């Protein structure tokens, strides 16, 4: 816990922030750490990132960020103790003002290092809470002991409050960033879209319903096949249902989807394309994106990415998905960016998709513009980094 350092609130200018991350890998967590470091430096702060190596180390150093090798995503008590000594030395020698730990092992090390030091501790919870069992829950409890705790969604935040008896005012919800520059309709050429439509074997006027996510029982594709049957029951065969997601790990389930589509007589309308290396273009080629999850996904990224490309989304009321789009009753109809339906209800899925496809051009373009604006506001790397900067600033303002 921090102690009083001065007579007036402090700002980020001149402050030193130490982030402890699992690694600077080319993944959302690694990019977020680099984005935060860049935002801090633009504010006049010093940014240090401690973690395992990775391809983003060079990017961090290129703009003046500092990297400290430190394996911290571990349960090894000897390594945790050594890391605590290293962090304590950094705090004292480099006048660190805030330590931000983003792994349970890193948080335990930081807790030991900051126990008697005049420094704030921020911790970040993962996208999904693991099952509540001992000793895992006790070990991950370190992430609930920061002066400020970051949750990636209200769904995770409520689970943290219940499990760790956290006061709500210590938690800040900051969603995961998505690459809104790549998932931007202005950055996706018509050639890329046309190329995918050719690969998928679509006729020129066919509308596309894109089902995003790994093909697995908990991702609800079976309900989507049933919804496709309902959508085409009136004779409309001008719709293609494109299932975009890795489909080799659960082969029997993937085969059962194909058999179900054949049984319904819609197998010629379904495309099981496996992993798609150009998801921005795949989303841009779609008229509507569906995320029919039956269990909480690891993140709501698919919903955020679809909106970033300006496409309407139909998603289930599972996990953080309802938070990641705008729909009644949480938002007014005129603010809608998608539809929320109950998991496993093929009829509701079909109705949501039907409503999206029935919009006239003006309404569709207006919804797409709202979706893009919402995605930029909520999920862009800049917005997420600014939100984190706000957390750091508010903590320093307490240090008066």
Domains in the chain with CATH codes: 16-177+380-398 (3.40.50.2000), 185-379 (3.40.50.2000)
Q: pLDDT digit string (tens) for 315-334?
A: 999 999 999 999 999 999 99
Give pLDDT, residue 150. Answer: 95
Give pLDDT, residue 95. Answer: 92
**Cα distance between residue 149 and residue 48, in whole Å:** 19
Q: pLDDT digit string (tens) for 31-66?
A: 989 999 999 999 999 999 999 999 999 999 999 999
Give pLDDT, residue 134. Answer: 59
Give pLDDT, residue 133. Answer: 64
Give pLDDT, residue 298. Answer: 80
Q: pLDDT digit string (tens) for 1-28?
A: 444 444 344 789 999 999 999 999 988 8
**Cα distance between residue 80 and residue 78, in whole Å:** 5
Give pLDDT, residue 398. Answer: 76
The stretches in the chain having pLDDT less than 50 are 1-9
Question: Tokens 């509701």 belong to which residue?
Answer: 348
DSSP for 181-240, please give it: TTS-GGGS-HHHHHHHHHHHT--TT-EEEEEES---GGGTHHHHHHHHHHHHTTS---EE
pTM score, whole prediction: 0.89
> Which residues fall within 8 angstroms of residue 348, CB to CB, at 6 or more apart?
341, 342
């Amino acid at each position: 816990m921090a102690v009083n350092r001065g007579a007036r609130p402090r700002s980020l200018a001149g402050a030193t922030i130490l982030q402890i991350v699992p690694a600077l890998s080319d993944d959302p967590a690694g990019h977020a750490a680099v984005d935060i470091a860049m935002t801090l430096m633009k504010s006049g702060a010093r940014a240090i990132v401690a973690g395992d190596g990775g391809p983003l180390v060079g990017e961090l150093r290129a703009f003046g960020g500092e990297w400290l090798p430190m394996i911290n995503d571990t349960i090894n008590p000897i390594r945790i103790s050594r890391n605590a000594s290293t962090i304590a030395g950094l705090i004292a020698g480099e006048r660190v003002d805030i330590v931000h730990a983003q792994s349970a092992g890193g948080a335990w090390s930081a807790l030991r290092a900051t126990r008697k030091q005049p420094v704030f501790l921020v911790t970040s919870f993962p996208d999904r809470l693991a099952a509540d069992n001992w000793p895992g829950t006790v070990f991950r409890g370190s992430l609930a002991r920061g002066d400020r705790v970051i949750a990636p969604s209200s769904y995770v935040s409520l689970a943290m409050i219940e499990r760790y008896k956290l006061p709500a005012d210590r938690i800040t919800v900051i969603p995961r960033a998505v690459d809104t520059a790549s998932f931007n309709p202005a950055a996706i050429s018509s050639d890329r879209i046309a190329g995918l439509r050719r690969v998928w074997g679509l006729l020129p006027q066919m509308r596309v319903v894109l089902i995003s996510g790994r093909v697995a029982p908990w991702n609800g594709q079976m309900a989507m096949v049933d919804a496709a049957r309902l959508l085409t029951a009136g004779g409309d065969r001008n719709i293609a249902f494109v299932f975009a997601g890795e489909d080799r790990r659960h082969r029997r389930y993937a085969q059962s989807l194909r058999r179900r589509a054949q049984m319904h007589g819609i197998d010629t309308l379904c495309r099981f394309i496996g992993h798609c290396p150009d998801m921005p273009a795949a989303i841009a080629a779609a008229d509507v994106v569906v995320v029919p999850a039956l269990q909480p996904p690891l993140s709501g990224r698919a919903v955020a990415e679809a909106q970033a490309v300006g496409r309407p989304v139909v998603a289930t009321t599972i996990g953080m998905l309802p938070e990641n789009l705008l729909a009644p009753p949480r938002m007014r109809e005129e603010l809608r960016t998608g539809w929320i339906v109950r998991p496993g209800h093929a009829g509701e899925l079909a109705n949501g998709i039907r409503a999206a496809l029935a919009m006239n051009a003006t309404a569709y373009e207006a919804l797409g513009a709202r979706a893009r604006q919402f995605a930029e506001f909520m999920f862009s790397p800049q917005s997420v980094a600014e939100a984190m900067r706000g957390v750091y600033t508010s903590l320093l303002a307490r240090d008066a």
